[in-house]
Amino acid sequence: MYVWSLVLFLLLVTLKLSSADEHNHIYEDQEEVVLWMNTVGPYHNRQETYAYFSLPFCIGSKQSISHYHETLSEALEGIELEFSGYAIDFKEDVPPKTETCMVELSEEKYKAFVYAVKNHYWFQMYIDGLPIWGAVGKEHDKKFYINTHKKFDIGYNGKRIIEVNLTNENEQLLHVGAHLSFTYEVNWRPTTVEFKDRFDKYLDPNFFQHRIHWFSIFNSFMMVIFLVGLVSMILVRTLRKDYARYSKDEEMDDEHDLGDEYGWKNIHGDVFRSSSNPILFTSVIGCGYQLTSVVLCVTSFAIIGDLYTERGSLLSTAIFVYAATSPINGYFGGSLYSRMGGRIWIRQMLLSAFLIPSFVCGTAFLINFIAIYYHASRAIPFGTMLAVTCICLFVILPLTLVGTIVGRNLNGQPDHPCRVNAVPRPIPEKKWFMEPLVITLLGGILPFGSIFIEM
């Protein structure tokens, strides 16, 4: 089954990059409209989500429902759609106070709801791919209330659903032994908004009421420009000085030629020497080329196509583009390795192909343990892991191989502008802050700082 979903996923992605939904978004009158329950989680940590029915909500009376096919990226993003049991039909109003089901609060259920309300839990649902959010309940004066009535105002235009407004009403006090009756109503309203504009509402900054920290982005940007400017100024001055001394030397004949070497003359015999660990070095370079192209491609796809309108399509696109750009990795890594005179190119290619996937999967694996421990919806099922492994083995690896072979053949001959000295110059003693470990950490501080402030 997972192999099929993988094949289907690849097919869908190849056919049409941004569309992976089973619905065509067109409804006939009285056709069933499915309300999918997705997740619940604390409002102040949007990454922490649990399946909707992990809280003791009850499922409506309606049982039969067409099956929902989850895509790979939805599984990775922790989307878990479950049918709500609410009967909703296109353009058919449901009168107020229609009961779906009843929950009798046992001690355990009471505690679960109180915990959720205390931690400002909110839930997310989908109607026709449109996300809907709402609060589970409210706290007044140390008493906990839960919203039991959901009012859906659905706007339609012709045969398409344009917008959904959810209003939570009828707060009920939570106490052990209470009988909570969950009710809903649906009102259909015609609207003139076009189908293609239906996601514009979510792009309006007032909708989520989040602010972009323009100042800190600007600040980081200026900092980067300042540092780049500083470094290039130092380099240019050093080069100028070297240049001036060379021309002076030429005028003063060859007196100083021996022994008094400096600047470029000093290092030109060593700059093209292959690194002490060429396999790792060239793999990292290849991965860098690949990551840069992935970022550029996905960013431009996101700008051109509306990737935010389909669940999980940004991640599917990213995975697809990553797999598709593997030859770039192979080409640049493999050709550089060959120019450095490397022989064990198969090992280099394997490391190149699996370097980023293993870092990502390793991190995901750790997070997965935590997610499984807390029963969070982000826990990645075994089948999904298998699918990801399959993509790595059967898509990324062969494409990297192709890139490596092409790179070695087209661009594999050394073409350095100057000779490499046979004897490497000894590297002078370094200060402690020039050690690789310290430099690695320091290099990451600036990008980390700018991202951390934003988060």
Ligand X SMILES: *[C@@H]1O[C@H](CO)[C@@H](O)[C@H](O)[C@H]1NC(C)=O
Q: Could you tell me if 183 and 172 are in contact, meaning their C-beta atoms sit under 8 angstroms apart? A: no
Q: How far is the CB of 61 from ligand X (least distance, A)?
A: 26
Here's the x/- map for ligand X, 113-152, by CB under 6 A: it reads as ----------------------------------------
Q: How far is the CB of 185 from ligand X (least distance, A)?
A: 12
Angle at CA 369, nearest 5°, toward 367 and 370? 65
Q: How far apart are CA 81 and CA 210, in angstroms?
A: 26
Residue number with CB closer to ligand X (41 or 155): 155
Map the footprint of ligand X across residues 351-370, applying CB under 6 A. none
Residue number with CB closer to ligand X (165 or 421): 165
Residue number with CB closer to ligand X (106 or 165): 165
Residue number with CB closer to ligand X (165 or 363): 165
Q: Under the criterion CB under 6 A, does residue 167 sit at the interface with ligand X? A: no
Q: How far is the CB of 32 from ligand X (least distance, A)?
A: 19
Residue number with CB closer to ligand X (201 or 265): 201
**Total number of residues binding ligand X (CB under 6 A)?**
5
Residue number with CB closer to ligand X (23 or 189): 189
Residue number with CB closer to ligand X (163 or 310): 163
Q: How far is the CB of 439 from ligand X (least distance, A)?
A: 53
Here's the x/- map for ligand X, 371-410, by CB under 6 A: it reads as ----------------------------------------
Residue number with CB closer to ligand X (165 or 389): 165
Q: How far is the CB of 207 from ligand X (least distance, A)?
A: 10
Q: How far is the CB of 194 from ligand X (least distance, A)?
A: 15
Q: What is the 3-state secondary structure (H, E, C) of 388-439?
A: HHHHHHHHHHHHHHHHHHHHHHHHCCCCCCCCCCCCCCCCCCCCHHHCHHHH
Q: Cα-flanking dihedrals φ and ψ of residue 269, to 5°?
A: -80, -5
**What residue type is 254 in one-letter code?**
D
CA 290 from centre of chain:
16
Instruction: Indicate the SS3 state at residue 55.
Output: coil
Q: How far is the CB of 132 from ligand X (least distance, A)?
A: 11
Q: Which structure tokens are listed for 277?
A: 């660990």
Q: How far apart are CA 93 and CA 185, in angstroms?
A: 8
**What residue type is 291 in one-letter code?**
L
Q: How far apart are CA 455 and CA 443, in angstroms?
A: 20
Q: Which listed residue (19, 165, 266, 292) binds ligand X by CB under 6 A?
A: 165
Residue number with CB closer to ligand X (166 or 361): 166
Q: How far is the CB of 301 from ligand X (least distance, A)?
A: 30
Helix (H) or strand (E) holding 354: helix 345-373
Q: How far is the CB of 97 from ligand X (least distance, A)?
A: 19
Q: Which listed residue (85, 155, 333, 407) binds ligand X by CB under 6 A?
A: 155
**How are beta strands 130-135 and 121-127 bridged, if at all?**
antiparallel
Q: Which residues are bridge partners to 138 per DSSP?
A: 145
Q: Which listed residue (21, 92, 153, 249) binds ligand X by CB under 6 A?
A: 153
Residue number with CB closer to ligand X (89 or 249): 89
Q: How far is the CB of 310 from ligand X (least distance, A)?
A: 22
CA 185 from centre of chain:
36
Q: Which residue has the tokens 């499915």?
A: 34
Closest by CA to 371, choosing from 38, 42, 39, 50, is 50
Closest by CA to 272, choosing from 440, 405, 424, 407, is 424
Q: How far apart are CA 135 and CA 42, in angstroms?
A: 10
Q: Which listed residue (72, 163, 312, 391) binds ligand X by CB under 6 A?
A: 163
Closest by CA to 195, choosing from 38, 23, 9, 11, is 23
Instruction: Indicate the SS3 state at residue 160.
Output: strand
Q: Under the criterion CB under 6 A, does residue 189 sit at the interface with ligand X? A: yes
Q: How far is the CB of 163 from ligand X (least distance, A)?
A: 6
Q: How far is the CB of 204 from ligand X (least distance, A)?
A: 11
Residue number with CB closer to ligand X (207 or 246): 207
Q: How far apart are CA 48 and CA 373, in angstroms?
A: 13
Closest by CA to 301, choosing from 16, 40, 11, 10, is 16
Residue number with CB closer to ligand X (186 or 392): 186
Map the footprint of ligand X across residues 292-311, applying CB under 6 A. none
- Taking only Cα atoms into account, the Rg of the chain, rounded to an integer number of angstroms, comes to 30
Which residues are at the interface with ligand X (CB under 6 A)?
153, 155, 163, 165, 189
